[in-house]
Structure 1
Amino acid sequence: MPDTTRIRVDLTAPTQAFRRFWRSTGFSPGELLLEPEMAQTLAYVGGVPNRGIEYMRVHYMLDLVTATEFGKYDFSRLDAALDIMLEHRIRPFLELMGNPSYIYTDFNDVKQAHHWRDFITELAQRYQARYGAEELRQWYFETWNEPDIWWRLGGETGFNNYYDACSEALKAVDPQLKLGGPGVARRIPPIFKSFLAHCDTGTNLFTGEKGVRLDFISVHEKGAKKHAEDLTPNSLSIIRHEMMAVDYVREHHPRFAGLPFINNECDPQIGWHLYHTWHAMPYFAGLAAKIIDQHQRLMVDAEDVDYDILSNDNGFVGHWGHRTHLTYFGKRPVKAAQAEHKTDIGALDARRAAPEPFELVKKPALSVMELFGLLSEQRIRLDDQGLDPDRVGLGAIATVLGGSDERSGASVLLYNSVDRIWQSGEGKVELDFAGLQPGAYALATFKIAHGKGDPFTIWEDLGAPDLPDAAELEAMRLAQEPALSVEHLQIGGAQASHTASIDMPLPSVALVALIRREGEAPEAPSKLKARRFGGLNGRGNIVLFWEPAAHGGVQLFDVLWSANGSGAWEVINPVGLLSSVYLHPAGGHFKVRARDLFGRVSAESAAIEA
Structure 2
Amino acid sequence: MLSVLVVFYVLAPLCYARQVNITIDASNVVGDLPPVARFFGADEPNYATYPDGRVLLDHLGSLGPHQTYFRAHNLLTTCDPSDQTSPHRLKWGCTNAYTEDPSDGQPIYNFTIVDEIFDAYMENGVKPYVEIGFMPQALSTSPNPYSFNFTPTANPDIIFTGWSNPPVSFPKWEELIFQWAQHSVDKYGEEEVNTWYWEVWNEPNIPYWNGTEEQYFTLYDYSVNGVLRALPSATVGGPAVAGGASGDFLGLFLTHTINGTNNATGSGGAPLDFISFHAKGSPTFIDATDSVPAHLQMNMASALQNVDDAFSVIQSFHTVNHLPIVISEDDPDSLAAGVTPNVEYRNGLIYPSYTAAAFTREIDLAEQYGVNFTGATTWAFEYDDHPYFDGFRVLATNQIDKPILNIFRIFGMMESKRLEAQSTGQYPLAAVMTSSVRNESDVGVLASISEGGDKIAVVVWNYHDDALPKPDAQISLNISNAFVGGASGRVTSLTHYRIDQSHSNAYSAWKLMGSPQHPTPNQQIDLKMAGMLQMLQPPTEVQFENGMAGIQFNLPIHAISLLVFEQ
Shorter-normalised TM range? 0.7 to 0.9
Per the alignment, residue 161 of structure 1 pairs with 218
Structure-2 separation of matches of 1:492 and 1:168: 58
Q: 1:14 to 1:385 in 2, by over 3 A?
A: farther
- Structure 1 regions of 5+ residues with no counterpart? 328-358, 517-610
1:366 counterpart (405, 410, 428): 405
Structure-1 separation of matches of 2:496 and 2:209: 50
Residues 146-173 of structure 1: CA deviation (Å, up to 9, x unaligned): 1223445643333222111112122223
Residues 406-425 of structure 1 mapped to structure 2, 5 A cutoff: 407-425=453-471
The answer (yes or no) to whether the contact 1:395–1:416 under 8 Å persists in 2 is: yes
The answer (yes or no) to whether the contact 2:166–2:210 under 8 Å persists in 1 is: no
Per the alignment, residue 444 of structure 2 pairs with 395
Structure-1 separation of matches of 2:167 and 2:345: 49
Higher relative contact order (CA 8 A, sep 6+): 2
For 1:263, the aligned partner's letter is I
Tell me the secondary structure at the aligned position of residue 382 of structure 1: strand
- Structure 2 regions of 5+ residues with no counterpart? 1-14, 78-94, 143-163, 288-294
Structure-2 separation of matches of 1:44 and 1:194: 39
1:483 aligns with 2:534: yes
Q: CA deviation at 1:502?
A: 2.1
Residues 62-113 of structure 1: CA deviation (Å, up to 9, x unaligned): 2311433454301111111111101111111110012345434389999821
Per the alignment, residue 309 of structure 1 pairs with 375
Structure-1 separation of matches of 2:425 and 2:511: 39
Q: 1:86 to 1:507 in 2, by over 3 A?
A: same
1:44 aligns with 2:59: yes
Structure-1 separation of matches of 2:551 and 2:512: 33
Residues 165-564 of structure 1 mapped to structure 2, 5 A cutoff: 165-186=222-243, 188-189=246-247, 192=250, 194-224=252-282, 231-250=296-315, 253-275=317-339, 276-297=343-364, 299-317=365-383, 319-320=388-389, 321-327=391-397, 359-382=398-421, 387-388=426-427, 390=432, 392-403=441-452, 407-434=453-480, 435-437=482-484, 438=487, 439-484=490-535, 485-489=537-541, 491=543, 495-516=546-567
**Cα RMSD after superposing both structures:** 2.8
The answer (yes or no) to whether the contact 1:415–1:509 under 8 Å persists in 2 is: yes
Tell me the secondary structure at the aligned position of residue 240 of structure 2: strand
| Count of aligned pairs | 478
Moved more, 5-14 or 439-448: 5-14
For 2:38, the aligned partner's letter is R
Structure-1 separation of matches of 2:301 and 2:337: 23
The answer (yes or no) to whether the contact 1:226–1:270 under 8 Å persists in 2 is: no
The answer (yes or no) to whether the contact 1:440–1:488 under 8 Å persists in 2 is: no
Residues 75-154 of structure 1 mapped to structure 2, 5 A cutoff: 75-100=111-136, 102-105=138-141, 112-152=169-209, 154=211
The answer (yes or no) to whether the contact 1:22–1:309 under 8 Å persists in 2 is: yes
The answer (yes or no) to whether the contact 1:398–1:413 under 8 Å persists in 2 is: yes
Structure-1 separation of matches of 2:279 and 2:263: 31
Structure-1 separation of matches of 2:402 and 2:181: 36
1:58 counterpart (72, 77, 81): 72
Tell me the secondary structure at the aligned position of residue 481 of structure 1: coil
For 1:474, the aligned partner's letter is I
Tell me the secondary structure at the aligned position of residue 221 of structure 1: strand
Structure-2 separation of matches of 1:316 and 1:182: 26
Q: CA deviation at 1:264?
A: 1.6
Q: CA deviation at 1:447?
A: 0.2
Q: 1:35 to 1:492 in 2, by over 3 A?
A: closer
Structure-2 separation of matches of 1:109 and 1:232: 39
For 2:561, the aligned partner's letter is A
Structure-2 separation of matches of 1:326 and 1:382: 32
Q: 1:508 to 1:71 in 2, by over 3 A?
A: same
Structure-2 separation of matches of 1:490 and 1:210: 61
The answer (yes or no) to whether the contact 1:300–1:307 under 8 Å persists in 2 is: yes
TM score, norm. by length of structure 1: 0.72
The answer (yes or no) to whether the contact 2:505–2:530 under 8 Å persists in 1 is: yes
Q: CA deviation at 1:360?
A: 2.1
Q: CA deviation at 1:426?
A: 0.7
For 2:445, the aligned partner's letter is A
Structure-2 separation of matches of 1:490 and 1:227: 44
For 2:297, the aligned partner's letter is T
The answer (yes or no) to whether the contact 1:26–1:316 under 8 Å persists in 2 is: no
The answer (yes or no) to whether the contact 2:417–2:451 under 8 Å persists in 1 is: no
For 1:105, the aligned partner's letter is T
Per the alignment, residue 592 of structure 1 pairs with none
1:68 counterpart (100, 103, 116): 100
Residues 595-610 of structure 1 mapped to structure 2, 5 A cutoff: none
Q: 1:379 to 1:59 in 2, by over 3 A?
A: same
Structure-1 separation of matches of 2:167 and 2:448: 52
2:43 counterpart (25, 28, 35): 28
Tell me the secondary structure at the aligned position of residue 303 of structure 2: helix
State the identity as a percent: 21
Per the alignment, residue 591 of structure 1 pairs with none
2:34 counterpart (2, 13, 19): 19
Q: CA deviation at 1:419?
A: 1.6
Structure-2 separation of matches of 1:215 and 1:129: 23
For 1:62, the aligned partner's letter is L
